[in-house]
Amino acid sequence: LLFSERWTIETTTALILTFAIFCLLSSSIYALNDIIDRKRDSLHSLKTNRPIASGELSIANGLIFSFLLLTVATLLALQQHI
């Protein structure tokens, strides 16, 4: 894109939205991974302070958060035809 001389507001917007979708999707997976690893993380000296491992955030709220991120990413991707 940078060297194709097709740098327009539309391509820039698409690029930013695609990056945002990627971030939302990866964050959804990270949240799900924190739920899966919560028992191991609670025993780890550094990871024990993570919200789910410490019990600060419930598993149900973590699942809701992960699902919301996934839903927003999917809706944005469908809107952008990605």
Flag whether pLDDT at 48 surpasses 80.
yes
DSSP characters over 11-66: HHHHHHHHHHHHHHHHHHHHHHHHHHTHHHHHHSTTGGGSHHHHTSS-HHHHHHHH
In angstroms, the Cα distances linking 16 to 9, 31, 65, 79 are 10, 22, 22, 14
68/21 Cα distance (integer angstroms): 12
Q: Sorting pLDDT into bands at 50, 70 and 90, what band is 3? A: low
What are 6-22's pLDDT values in tens digits? Answer: 788 888 898 899 999 99
74/82 Cα distance (integer angstroms): 9
For range 55-60, the mean pLDDT: 95
* pTM of structure: 0.82
